[in-house]
Protein backbone atom coordinates (compact mmCIF):
# COMPACT_ATOMS: atom_id res chain seq x y z
CA UNK A 1 0.00 0.00 0.00
CA UNK A 2 1.43 3.41 -1.02
CA UNK A 3 1.96 6.27 1.40
CA UNK A 4 -0.87 8.30 -0.11
CA UNK A 5 -3.25 5.36 0.27
CA UNK A 6 -2.26 4.93 3.91
CA UNK A 7 -2.85 8.63 4.62
CA UNK A 8 -6.23 8.48 2.90
CA UNK A 9 -7.18 5.36 4.87
CA UNK A 10 -6.19 6.91 8.20
CA UNK A 11 -8.10 10.08 7.32
CA UNK A 12 -11.23 7.98 7.02
CA UNK A 13 -10.68 6.45 10.45
CA UNK A 14 -10.90 9.59 12.58
CA UNK A 15 -14.28 8.61 14.07
CA UNK A 16 -12.83 5.26 15.16
CA UNK A 17 -9.69 6.94 16.48
CA UNK A 18 -11.80 9.29 18.57
CA UNK A 19 -13.81 6.33 19.87
CA UNK A 20 -10.62 4.52 20.92
CA UNK A 21 -9.32 7.65 22.66
CA UNK A 22 -12.64 8.03 24.47
CA UNK A 23 -12.58 4.39 25.56
CA UNK A 24 -9.07 4.80 26.94
CA UNK A 25 -10.08 7.98 28.76
CA UNK A 26 -13.04 6.20 30.36
CA UNK A 27 -10.79 3.36 31.43
CA UNK A 28 -8.26 5.60 33.18
CA UNK A 29 -10.65 8.18 34.62
CA UNK A 30 -12.74 5.32 35.99
CA UNK A 31 -9.73 4.45 38.20
CA UNK A 32 -9.59 7.91 39.72
CA UNK A 33 -9.83 8.14 43.50
CA UNK A 34 -12.09 11.15 43.22
CA UNK A 35 -15.80 10.41 43.02
CA UNK A 36 -16.42 13.37 40.71
CA UNK A 37 -14.06 12.23 37.93
CA UNK A 38 -15.40 8.67 38.18
CA UNK A 39 -18.95 9.88 37.79
CA UNK A 40 -17.93 11.78 34.66
CA UNK A 41 -17.17 8.60 32.69
CA UNK A 42 -20.63 8.28 31.11
CA UNK A 43 -20.44 11.93 30.09
CA UNK A 44 -17.04 11.30 28.51
CA UNK A 45 -18.55 8.36 26.60
CA UNK A 46 -21.43 10.58 25.45
CA UNK A 47 -19.05 13.34 24.32
CA UNK A 48 -17.02 10.74 22.44
CA UNK A 49 -20.06 9.52 20.52
CA UNK A 50 -21.13 13.07 19.68
CA UNK A 51 -17.66 13.98 18.44
CA UNK A 52 -17.45 10.80 16.36
CA UNK A 53 -20.84 11.58 14.79
CA UNK A 54 -19.75 15.14 13.99
CA UNK A 55 -16.60 13.84 12.32
CA UNK A 56 -18.70 11.54 10.14
CA UNK A 57 -21.11 14.36 9.23
CA UNK A 58 -18.27 16.81 8.64
CA UNK A 59 -16.62 14.76 5.93
CA UNK A 60 -16.99 16.14 2.43
CA UNK A 61 -17.87 12.66 1.18
CA UNK A 62 -19.21 9.60 2.94
CA UNK A 63 -17.91 7.26 0.25
CA UNK A 64 -15.03 6.08 2.44
CA UNK A 65 -15.99 2.43 2.43
CA UNK A 66 -13.50 -0.03 1.11
CA UNK A 67 -16.12 -2.20 -0.55
CA UNK A 68 -18.41 -1.84 -3.52
CA UNK A 69 -20.98 0.36 -1.77
CA UNK A 70 -20.12 4.03 -1.72
CA UNK A 71 -21.73 5.30 1.46
CA UNK A 72 -22.02 2.13 3.54
CA UNK A 73 -19.31 3.07 6.03
CA UNK A 74 -20.59 6.61 6.56
CA UNK A 75 -24.18 5.48 7.06
CA UNK A 76 -23.27 2.75 9.52
CA UNK A 77 -20.90 4.95 11.51
CA UNK A 78 -23.51 7.67 11.88
CA UNK A 79 -26.24 5.18 12.80
CA UNK A 80 -23.99 3.50 15.37
CA UNK A 81 -23.02 6.81 16.96
CA UNK A 82 -26.64 8.01 17.11
CA UNK A 83 -28.19 4.83 18.44
CA UNK A 84 -25.11 4.39 20.65
CA UNK A 85 -26.13 7.59 22.44
CA UNK A 86 -29.57 6.15 23.13
CA UNK A 87 -28.01 2.90 24.36
CA UNK A 88 -25.71 4.91 26.61
CA UNK A 89 -28.70 6.63 28.20
CA UNK A 90 -30.29 3.24 28.78
CA UNK A 91 -27.08 1.72 30.18
CA UNK A 92 -26.13 4.67 32.39
CA UNK A 93 -25.92 3.57 36.00
CA UNK A 94 -25.47 -0.15 35.35
CA UNK A 95 -22.02 -0.31 37.05
CA UNK A 96 -23.27 1.76 40.00
CA UNK A 97 -26.01 -0.77 40.77
CA UNK A 98 -23.57 -3.63 41.25
CA UNK A 99 -22.86 -4.92 44.74
CA UNK A 100 -19.15 -4.79 44.04
CA UNK A 101 -19.38 -1.06 43.28
CA UNK A 102 -21.41 -0.30 46.40
CA UNK A 103 -19.03 -2.30 48.61
CA UNK A 104 -16.00 -0.60 47.09
CA UNK A 105 -17.49 2.85 47.59
CA UNK A 106 -18.35 2.08 51.22
CA UNK A 107 -15.01 0.43 52.04
CA UNK A 108 -12.75 2.17 54.57
CA UNK A 109 -9.68 1.54 52.41
CA UNK A 110 -11.02 2.60 49.05
CA UNK A 111 -9.41 0.92 46.07
CA UNK A 112 -10.56 2.22 42.65
CA UNK A 113 -9.37 -1.02 41.13
CA UNK A 114 -12.39 -2.72 42.73
CA UNK A 115 -14.77 -0.65 40.60
CA UNK A 116 -16.07 -1.60 37.16
CA UNK A 117 -17.31 1.82 36.06
CA UNK A 118 -14.42 2.73 33.79
CA UNK A 119 -14.19 -0.73 32.26
CA UNK A 120 -17.92 -0.87 31.49
CA UNK A 121 -18.01 2.36 29.48
CA UNK A 122 -14.67 1.56 27.83
CA UNK A 123 -15.98 -1.79 26.63
CA UNK A 124 -19.18 -0.07 25.56
CA UNK A 125 -17.25 2.27 23.26
CA UNK A 126 -14.86 -0.42 22.04
CA UNK A 127 -17.72 -2.63 20.86
CA UNK A 128 -19.29 0.26 18.96
CA UNK A 129 -15.89 0.99 17.43
CA UNK A 130 -15.81 -2.58 16.17
CA UNK A 131 -19.05 -2.02 14.25
CA UNK A 132 -17.63 1.12 12.66
CA UNK A 133 -14.48 -0.70 11.64
CA UNK A 134 -16.57 -3.54 10.22
CA UNK A 135 -18.35 -1.13 7.89
CA UNK A 136 -15.06 0.20 6.56
CA UNK A 137 -13.34 -3.18 6.17
CA UNK A 138 -11.45 -3.67 2.93
CA UNK A 139 -9.98 -7.11 3.47
CA UNK A 140 -10.70 -10.34 5.31
CA UNK A 141 -8.15 -9.79 8.08
CA UNK A 142 -9.58 -6.36 8.88
CA UNK A 143 -13.11 -7.75 8.84
CA UNK A 144 -12.21 -10.57 11.24
CA UNK A 145 -10.50 -8.23 13.72
CA UNK A 146 -13.38 -5.73 13.54
CA UNK A 147 -15.99 -8.43 14.21
CA UNK A 148 -14.00 -9.71 17.18
CA UNK A 149 -13.59 -6.18 18.55
CA UNK A 150 -17.36 -5.91 18.41
CA UNK A 151 -17.93 -9.19 20.26
CA UNK A 152 -15.14 -9.52 22.84
CA UNK A 153 -16.20 -6.52 25.00
CA UNK A 154 -19.77 -7.82 25.11
CA UNK A 155 -18.65 -11.05 26.80
CA UNK A 156 -17.29 -9.02 29.71
CA UNK A 157 -20.31 -6.70 29.76
CA UNK A 158 -22.66 -9.69 30.08
CA UNK A 159 -20.62 -11.29 32.87
CA UNK A 160 -20.26 -8.14 34.99
CA UNK A 161 -23.62 -6.46 34.45
CA UNK A 162 -25.58 -8.29 37.18
CA UNK A 163 -24.95 -9.64 40.66
CA UNK A 164 -26.62 -12.95 39.86
CA UNK A 165 -24.91 -16.15 38.81
CA UNK A 166 -27.11 -16.28 35.70
CA UNK A 167 -25.03 -13.44 34.25
CA UNK A 168 -21.81 -15.45 34.57
CA UNK A 169 -23.47 -18.54 33.15
CA UNK A 170 -24.77 -16.54 30.19
CA UNK A 171 -21.36 -15.01 29.60
CA UNK A 172 -19.67 -18.43 29.55
CA UNK A 173 -22.21 -19.79 27.07
CA UNK A 174 -21.94 -16.64 24.97
CA UNK A 175 -18.13 -16.77 24.98
CA UNK A 176 -17.75 -20.40 23.96
CA UNK A 177 -20.39 -20.23 21.24
CA UNK A 178 -18.83 -16.98 20.07
CA UNK A 179 -15.43 -18.67 19.87
CA UNK A 180 -16.99 -21.51 17.85
CA UNK A 181 -18.60 -19.09 15.42
CA UNK A 182 -15.34 -17.15 15.06
CA UNK A 183 -13.53 -20.39 14.23
CA UNK A 184 -16.15 -21.23 11.59
CA UNK A 185 -16.12 -17.94 9.73
CA UNK A 186 -12.35 -17.58 10.09
CA UNK A 187 -11.97 -20.99 8.44
CA UNK A 188 -14.33 -19.73 5.76
CA UNK A 189 -12.10 -16.68 5.27
CA UNK A 190 -9.12 -19.04 4.98
CA UNK A 191 -10.81 -21.01 2.21
CA UNK A 192 -11.70 -17.79 0.39
CA UNK A 193 -8.04 -16.82 0.54
CA UNK A 194 -7.05 -20.28 -0.65
CA UNK A 195 -9.43 -20.04 -3.60
CA UNK A 196 -8.40 -16.54 -4.70
CA UNK A 197 -4.90 -16.01 -3.30
CA UNK A 198 -5.81 -12.65 -1.75
CA UNK A 199 -7.40 -11.19 1.37
CA UNK A 200 -8.32 -7.85 -0.23
CA UNK A 201 -11.96 -7.51 -1.24
CA UNK A 202 -11.12 -5.81 -4.54
CA UNK A 203 -8.82 -8.59 -5.68
CA UNK A 204 -11.10 -11.35 -4.34
CA UNK A 205 -14.04 -9.89 -6.26
CA UNK A 206 -12.07 -9.64 -9.49
CA UNK A 207 -10.76 -13.21 -9.26
CA UNK A 208 -14.15 -14.57 -8.12
CA UNK A 209 -15.87 -13.03 -11.16
CA UNK A 210 -13.28 -14.58 -13.45
CA UNK A 211 -13.72 -17.99 -11.84
CA UNK A 212 -17.51 -17.80 -11.96
CA UNK A 213 -17.40 -16.81 -15.64
CA UNK A 214 -15.02 -19.69 -16.37
CA UNK A 215 -17.39 -22.16 -14.66
CA UNK A 216 -20.52 -21.09 -16.57
CA UNK A 217 -21.93 -19.00 -13.73
CA UNK A 218 -21.19 -21.49 -10.97
CA UNK A 219 -18.97 -20.74 -7.97
CA UNK A 220 -15.92 -23.03 -7.75
CA UNK A 221 -16.09 -25.54 -4.89
CA UNK A 222 -13.41 -24.10 -2.60
CA UNK A 223 -14.71 -20.56 -2.89
CA UNK A 224 -18.30 -21.76 -2.43
CA UNK A 225 -17.46 -23.61 0.79
CA UNK A 226 -15.54 -20.57 2.06
CA UNK A 227 -18.46 -18.21 1.43
CA UNK A 228 -20.93 -20.69 2.98
CA UNK A 229 -18.84 -21.17 6.14
CA UNK A 230 -18.39 -17.43 6.45
CA UNK A 231 -22.16 -16.92 6.26
CA UNK A 232 -22.90 -19.62 8.85
CA UNK A 233 -20.27 -18.30 11.24
CA UNK A 234 -21.46 -14.72 10.97
CA UNK A 235 -25.01 -15.91 11.63
CA UNK A 236 -23.94 -16.02 15.30
CA UNK A 237 -23.54 -12.24 15.28
CA UNK A 238 -27.09 -11.70 14.08
CA UNK A 239 -28.56 -14.62 16.09
CA UNK A 240 -29.81 -16.45 12.99
CA UNK A 241 -30.41 -20.17 12.55
CA UNK A 242 -28.36 -22.34 13.02
CA UNK A 243 -26.30 -20.13 15.39
CA UNK A 244 -29.20 -18.79 17.42
CA UNK A 245 -29.26 -21.11 20.45
CA UNK A 246 -27.50 -18.72 22.81
CA UNK A 247 -29.80 -15.76 22.34
CA UNK A 248 -32.63 -16.48 24.81
CA UNK A 249 -30.39 -17.52 27.72
CA UNK A 250 -27.87 -14.73 27.20
CA UNK A 251 -30.51 -12.04 26.74
CA UNK A 252 -32.27 -13.22 29.90
CA UNK A 253 -29.10 -13.52 32.00
CA UNK A 254 -27.56 -10.15 31.17
CA UNK A 255 -28.69 -6.89 32.71
CA UNK A 256 -31.54 -5.46 30.66
CA UNK A 257 -29.57 -2.43 29.36
CA UNK A 258 -26.80 -4.79 28.24
CA UNK A 259 -29.42 -6.98 26.57
CA UNK A 260 -30.57 -3.94 24.60
CA UNK A 261 -26.95 -3.42 23.57
CA UNK A 262 -26.63 -7.05 22.45
CA UNK A 263 -29.86 -6.86 20.47
CA UNK A 264 -28.55 -4.08 18.22
CA UNK A 265 -24.76 -3.78 18.14
CA UNK A 266 -23.53 -7.31 17.21
CA UNK A 267 -26.52 -7.73 14.88
CA UNK A 268 -25.59 -4.57 12.98
CA UNK A 269 -21.96 -5.69 12.69
CA UNK A 270 -23.07 -9.11 11.45
CA UNK A 271 -25.49 -7.70 8.87
CA UNK A 272 -22.85 -5.33 7.50
CA UNK A 273 -20.29 -8.17 7.39
CA UNK A 274 -22.73 -10.32 5.40
CA UNK A 275 -23.23 -7.49 2.92
CA UNK A 276 -19.47 -7.29 2.42
CA UNK A 277 -19.03 -11.06 2.08
CA UNK A 278 -21.90 -11.43 -0.38
CA UNK A 279 -20.60 -8.53 -2.46
CA UNK A 280 -17.55 -10.66 -3.23
CA UNK A 281 -19.65 -12.80 -5.57
CA UNK A 282 -22.25 -10.16 -6.40
CA UNK A 283 -26.00 -10.21 -7.02
CA UNK A 284 -27.98 -12.05 -8.21
CA UNK A 285 -26.36 -14.53 -5.90
CA UNK A 286 -25.12 -17.87 -7.27
CA UNK A 287 -27.64 -20.68 -6.83
CA UNK A 288 -26.03 -22.55 -3.91
CA UNK A 289 -25.47 -19.39 -1.85
CA UNK A 290 -28.96 -18.15 -2.65
CA UNK A 291 -30.45 -21.47 -1.51
CA UNK A 292 -28.46 -21.36 1.74
CA UNK A 293 -29.65 -17.85 2.57
CA UNK A 294 -33.23 -18.74 1.57
CA UNK A 295 -33.25 -21.63 4.06
CA UNK A 296 -31.62 -19.53 6.79
CA UNK A 297 -34.16 -16.73 6.32
CA UNK A 298 -37.21 -19.04 6.35
CA UNK A 299 -36.04 -21.07 9.36
CA UNK A 300 -34.90 -18.04 11.35
CA UNK A 301 -38.21 -16.21 10.92
CA UNK A 302 -40.25 -19.29 11.78
CA UNK A 303 -38.17 -20.54 14.70
CA UNK A 304 -37.98 -17.09 16.27
CA UNK A 305 -41.68 -16.36 16.05
CA UNK A 306 -43.01 -19.81 16.97
CA UNK A 307 -40.76 -20.14 20.01
CA UNK A 308 -41.57 -16.57 20.98
CA UNK A 309 -45.20 -17.65 21.45
CA UNK A 310 -44.18 -20.20 24.09
CA UNK A 311 -42.27 -17.92 26.46
CA UNK A 312 -43.36 -16.64 29.88
CA UNK A 313 -40.49 -14.15 30.26
CA UNK A 314 -40.75 -10.86 28.40
CA UNK A 315 -36.98 -10.79 27.95
CA UNK A 316 -37.04 -14.24 26.35
CA UNK A 317 -39.94 -13.18 24.12
CA UNK A 318 -37.90 -10.21 22.93
CA UNK A 319 -34.90 -12.51 22.48
CA UNK A 320 -36.82 -14.76 20.10
CA UNK A 321 -38.23 -11.63 18.50
CA UNK A 322 -34.65 -10.58 17.81
CA UNK A 323 -34.02 -13.93 16.14
CA UNK A 324 -37.09 -13.48 13.94
CA UNK A 325 -35.99 -10.02 12.87
CA UNK A 326 -32.66 -11.49 11.79
CA UNK A 327 -34.66 -13.65 9.39
CA UNK A 328 -36.32 -10.56 7.96
CA UNK A 329 -32.90 -8.96 7.48
CA UNK A 330 -31.61 -12.01 5.57
CA UNK A 331 -34.55 -11.62 3.19
CA UNK A 332 -33.22 -8.19 2.26
CA UNK A 333 -29.72 -9.59 1.82
CA UNK A 334 -31.11 -12.12 -0.63
CA UNK A 335 -32.80 -9.43 -2.70
CA UNK A 336 -29.58 -7.46 -3.03
CA UNK A 337 -29.11 -3.97 -4.50
CA UNK A 338 -31.52 -2.44 -6.96
CA UNK A 339 -30.55 -2.72 -10.61
CA UNK A 340 -32.67 -1.30 -13.44
CA UNK A 341 -35.58 -0.73 -11.06
CA UNK A 342 -37.61 2.44 -11.25
CA UNK A 343 -38.83 2.33 -7.64
CA UNK A 344 -37.55 5.20 -5.54
CA UNK A 345 -36.13 5.19 -2.08
CA UNK A 346 -35.32 1.86 -0.51
CA UNK A 347 -38.26 0.11 -2.17
CA UNK A 348 -36.78 -2.40 -4.57
CA UNK A 349 -33.29 -2.17 -3.05
CA UNK A 350 -32.75 -5.02 -0.61
CA UNK A 351 -29.50 -3.70 0.83
CA UNK A 352 -30.97 -0.25 1.44
CA UNK A 353 -33.96 -1.93 3.07
CA UNK A 354 -31.61 -3.86 5.37
CA UNK A 355 -29.82 -0.69 6.46
CA UNK A 356 -33.12 1.09 7.04
CA UNK A 357 -34.55 -1.90 8.89
CA UNK A 358 -31.55 -2.13 11.24
CA UNK A 359 -32.36 1.36 12.52
CA UNK A 360 -36.10 0.70 12.67
CA UNK A 361 -35.63 -2.57 14.54
CA UNK A 362 -33.03 -1.03 16.82
CA UNK A 363 -35.31 1.79 17.95
CA UNK A 364 -38.24 -0.52 18.75
CA UNK A 365 -36.15 -3.10 20.56
CA UNK A 366 -34.14 -0.59 22.58
CA UNK A 367 -37.31 1.19 23.68
CA UNK A 368 -38.90 -2.06 24.90
CA UNK A 369 -35.81 -3.16 26.82
CA UNK A 370 -35.40 0.33 28.26
CA UNK A 371 -38.93 0.20 29.69
CA UNK A 372 -38.12 -3.13 31.36
CA UNK A 373 -34.90 -1.61 32.67
CA UNK A 374 -36.88 1.16 34.35
CA UNK A 375 -38.72 -1.36 36.55
CA UNK A 376 -37.66 -3.38 39.60
CA UNK A 377 -39.42 -6.25 41.39
CA UNK A 378 -38.20 -6.98 44.90
CA UNK A 379 -34.85 -5.46 44.07
CA UNK A 380 -34.36 -7.42 40.83
CA UNK A 381 -35.09 -6.62 37.21
CA UNK A 382 -38.57 -6.91 35.74
CA UNK A 383 -38.68 -9.86 33.35
CA UNK A 384 -42.01 -11.71 33.38
CA UNK A 385 -45.46 -10.81 32.14
CA UNK A 386 -46.60 -10.56 35.76
CA UNK A 387 -43.98 -7.86 36.31
CA UNK A 388 -45.49 -5.60 33.62
CA UNK A 389 -49.11 -6.52 34.39
CA UNK A 390 -51.27 -3.43 34.77
CA UNK A 391 -48.31 -1.17 34.11
CA UNK A 392 -50.44 1.66 32.76
CA UNK A 393 -52.22 2.08 36.11
CA UNK A 394 -49.01 2.72 38.04
CA UNK A 395 -46.67 3.97 35.32
CA UNK A 396 -48.77 5.14 32.35
CA UNK A 397 -45.77 6.83 30.71
CA UNK A 398 -43.78 3.60 30.60
CA UNK A 399 -46.81 1.64 29.40
CA UNK A 400 -47.27 4.07 26.50
CA UNK A 401 -43.61 3.73 25.51
CA UNK A 402 -43.87 -0.05 25.63
CA UNK A 403 -46.97 0.06 23.43
CA UNK A 404 -45.24 2.21 20.81
CA UNK A 405 -42.19 -0.06 20.78
CA UNK A 406 -44.05 -3.34 20.33
CA UNK A 407 -46.37 -1.88 17.69
CA UNK A 408 -43.31 -0.72 15.77
CA UNK A 409 -41.76 -4.17 16.05
CA UNK A 410 -44.92 -5.84 14.79
CA UNK A 411 -44.91 -3.42 11.86
CA UNK A 412 -48.07 -1.34 12.24
CA UNK A 413 -48.41 2.12 10.64
CA UNK A 414 -47.53 4.90 11.15
CA UNK A 415 -44.48 3.59 13.00
CA UNK A 416 -41.04 3.10 11.47
CA UNK A 417 -41.24 -0.70 11.75
CA UNK A 418 -44.06 -0.62 9.18
CA UNK A 419 -41.89 1.21 6.65
CA UNK A 420 -39.04 -1.17 7.33
CA UNK A 421 -41.12 -4.24 6.52
CA UNK A 422 -42.66 -2.58 3.47
CA UNK A 423 -39.19 -1.97 2.05
CA UNK A 424 -38.02 -5.50 2.83
CA UNK A 425 -41.12 -7.04 1.27
CA UNK A 426 -40.94 -4.74 -1.76
CA UNK A 427 -37.32 -5.57 -2.45
CA UNK A 428 -37.82 -9.34 -2.03
CA UNK A 429 -40.92 -9.37 -4.22
CA UNK A 430 -39.15 -7.31 -6.88
CA UNK A 431 -36.26 -9.78 -6.85
CA UNK A 432 -38.64 -12.70 -7.42
CA UNK A 433 -38.70 -14.25 -3.91
CA UNK A 434 -42.48 -14.53 -3.78
CA UNK A 435 -42.65 -17.58 -1.53
CA UNK A 436 -40.22 -16.02 0.92
CA UNK A 437 -42.39 -12.89 1.01
CA UNK A 438 -45.38 -15.07 1.91
CA UNK A 439 -43.40 -16.69 4.73
CA UNK A 440 -42.36 -13.24 5.97
CA UNK A 441 -45.94 -11.96 6.01
CA UNK A 442 -47.21 -15.08 7.80
CA UNK A 443 -44.45 -14.80 10.38
CA UNK A 444 -45.25 -11.15 10.95
CA UNK A 445 -48.83 -12.19 11.69
CA UNK A 446 -47.57 -14.81 14.16
CA UNK A 447 -45.36 -12.24 15.88
CA UNK A 448 -48.38 -10.00 16.46
CA UNK A 449 -49.65 -12.57 18.98
CA UNK A 450 -46.78 -12.20 21.42
CA UNK A 451 -46.24 -8.47 20.81
CA UNK A 452 -49.91 -7.77 21.52
CA UNK A 453 -49.65 -10.08 24.55
CA UNK A 454 -47.05 -7.69 25.95
CA UNK A 455 -49.30 -4.70 25.26
CA UNK A 456 -52.30 -6.53 26.73
CA UNK A 457 -50.40 -7.28 29.94
CA UNK A 458 -49.51 -3.61 30.30
CA UNK A 459 -53.04 -2.32 29.75
CA UNK A 460 -55.46 -5.07 30.79
CA UNK A 461 -53.60 -6.97 33.52
CA UNK A 462 -53.90 -6.52 37.26
CA UNK A 463 -51.22 -4.24 38.72
CA UNK A 464 -48.35 -5.90 40.58
CA UNK A 465 -47.76 -4.04 43.84
CA UNK A 466 -44.21 -5.39 44.07
CA UNK A 467 -43.14 -3.50 40.93
CA UNK A 468 -41.48 -0.15 41.44
CA UNK A 469 -39.64 2.32 39.26
CA UNK A 470 -35.87 2.69 39.39
CA UNK A 471 -36.26 6.45 39.05
CA UNK A 472 -33.26 6.69 36.72
CA UNK A 473 -33.88 9.68 34.49
CA UNK A 474 -31.34 8.77 31.74
CA UNK A 475 -33.01 5.41 31.23
CA UNK A 476 -36.43 7.04 31.00
CA UNK A 477 -34.98 9.52 28.51
CA UNK A 478 -33.48 6.72 26.42
CA UNK A 479 -36.81 4.90 26.26
CA UNK A 480 -38.59 8.14 25.32
CA UNK A 481 -36.10 9.09 22.59
CA UNK A 482 -36.17 5.61 21.03
CA UNK A 483 -39.98 5.41 21.03
CA UNK A 484 -40.35 8.99 19.78
CA UNK A 485 -37.95 8.36 16.90
CA UNK A 486 -39.84 5.17 16.03
CA UNK A 487 -42.95 7.32 15.63
CA UNK A 488 -41.34 10.34 13.97
CA UNK A 489 -39.34 8.34 11.41
CA UNK A 490 -42.46 6.37 10.57
CA UNK A 491 -44.16 9.61 9.55
CA UNK A 492 -41.29 11.68 8.15
CA UNK A 493 -38.60 9.11 7.47
CA UNK A 494 -37.73 10.21 3.93
CA UNK A 495 -34.31 11.43 5.04
CA UNK A 496 -33.40 8.04 6.48
CA UNK A 497 -34.81 6.28 3.41
CA UNK A 498 -32.69 8.41 1.09
CA UNK A 499 -29.62 7.94 3.27
CA UNK A 500 -30.00 4.16 3.19
CA UNK A 501 -30.47 4.26 -0.59
CA UNK A 502 -27.39 6.43 -1.08
CA UNK A 503 -25.38 4.11 1.16
CA UNK A 504 -25.96 1.20 -1.24
CA UNK A 505 -25.10 3.10 -4.42
CA UNK A 506 -22.17 1.43 -6.21
CA UNK A 507 -18.95 3.43 -6.18
CA UNK A 508 -19.06 3.61 -9.99
CA UNK A 509 -22.55 3.33 -11.39
CA UNK A 510 -22.21 5.07 -14.70
CA UNK A 511 -23.44 2.05 -16.64
CA UNK A 512 -26.52 0.83 -14.86
CA UNK A 513 -27.23 -1.71 -17.57
CA UNK A 514 -24.34 -3.89 -16.41
CA UNK A 515 -25.11 -6.98 -14.33
CA UNK A 516 -24.73 -6.51 -10.62
CA UNK A 517 -21.73 -8.80 -10.42
CA UNK A 518 -19.83 -6.75 -13.01
CA UNK A 519 -20.86 -3.51 -11.37
CA UNK A 520 -19.55 -4.69 -8.00
CA UNK A 521 -16.28 -5.82 -9.52
CA UNK A 522 -15.55 -2.63 -11.41
CA UNK A 523 -16.63 -0.39 -8.53
CA UNK A 524 -14.18 -2.01 -6.16
CA UNK A 525 -11.37 -1.73 -8.66
Please state, in angstroms and rounded to a whole number, the distance separating the CA atoms of residues 482 and 155: 25
- Quick check: 336 and 285 in contact, CB under 8 A? yes
- As a whole number of angstroms, the distance between CA 22 and CA 132 comes to 15
Q: What pLDDT does 67 receive?
A: 52
* CA-closest candidate to residue 273, choices 13, 423, 65: 65
Nearest of 267, 266, 260 to residue 482 by alpha carbon: 260
- Enumerate the domain spans of the chain: 3-506
Torsion sign, CA atoms 268, 271, 277, 280 = negative
Q: How many whole angstroms separate alpha carbon 244 and alpha carbon 267?
A: 12
Sequential pLDDT tens for the chain (525 residues): 567 666 777 777 899 999 999 999 999 998 888 888 888 999 999 999 999 999 998 774 444 544 557 689 999 999 999 999 999 999 988 888 888 878 777 777 777 777 888 899 999 999 999 999 999 998 999 999 999 999 999 999 999 888 788 888 889 999 999 999 999 999 999 999 999 999 999 999 999 999 988 888 788 999 999 999 999 999 999 999 999 999 999 999 999 999 999 999 999 999 999 999 999 998 889 889 999 999 999 999 999 999 999 998 999 999 999 999 999 999 999 998 875 444 445 577 899 999 999 999 999 999 999 999 999 888 788 888 999 999 999 899 999 999 999 999 999 999 999 999 999 999 999 999 999 999 999 999 999 999 999 999 999 988 888 888 887 889 999 999 999 999 999 998 888 888 888 888 765 543 434 444 433 333 332
Q: Dihedral, CA atoms, 231, 232, 234, 238, nearest 10 degrees?
A: 110
For the chain, how far is it from start to end, CA to CA, in angstroms? 14
Interhelix angle 287-308/221-238, rounded to 10 degrees, is 20
Q: 380-381 and 375-377 as β-strands: parallel, antiparallel, unpaired?
A: antiparallel
pLDDT of residue 346: 58
106, exposed or middle or buried, with CB in 10 Å at 0-12, 13-18, 19+? exposed
Separation CA 486–CA 469 (nearest Å): 23
Helix axes 416-430, 434-460, angle to 10 degrees: 170
What pLDDT is stored for residue 100 in this prediction?
81
Question: Is the pTM here over 0.85, yes or no?
Answer: yes
Residue 68 is predicted with a pLDDT of 57
For residues 316 and 350, give the distance between their C-alpha atoms in angstroms, rounded to a whole number.
29
Q: Where are the beta strands (DSSP E) in 256-386?
A: 375-377, 380-381
Q: Which of 19, 14, 246 is nearest to 124 (CA)?
A: 19
CB atoms within 10 A of CB 9: 14
Amino acid sequence: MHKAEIIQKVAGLWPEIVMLIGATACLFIGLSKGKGPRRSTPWIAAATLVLAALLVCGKSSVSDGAGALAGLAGYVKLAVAGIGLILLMVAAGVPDQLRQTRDAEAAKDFDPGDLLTGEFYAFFLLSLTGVMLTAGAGDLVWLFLALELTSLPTYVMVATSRDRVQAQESAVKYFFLGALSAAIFLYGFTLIYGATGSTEFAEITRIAQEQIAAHDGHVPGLLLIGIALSIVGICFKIAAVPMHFYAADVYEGAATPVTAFLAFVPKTAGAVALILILSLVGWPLPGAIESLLWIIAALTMTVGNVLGLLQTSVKRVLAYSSIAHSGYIVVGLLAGPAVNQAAGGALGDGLAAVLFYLVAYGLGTIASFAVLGCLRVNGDEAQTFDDISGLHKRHPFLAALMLVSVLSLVGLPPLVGFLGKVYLIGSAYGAGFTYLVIILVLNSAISAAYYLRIASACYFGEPNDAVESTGQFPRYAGALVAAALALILGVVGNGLVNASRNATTPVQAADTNQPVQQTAATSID
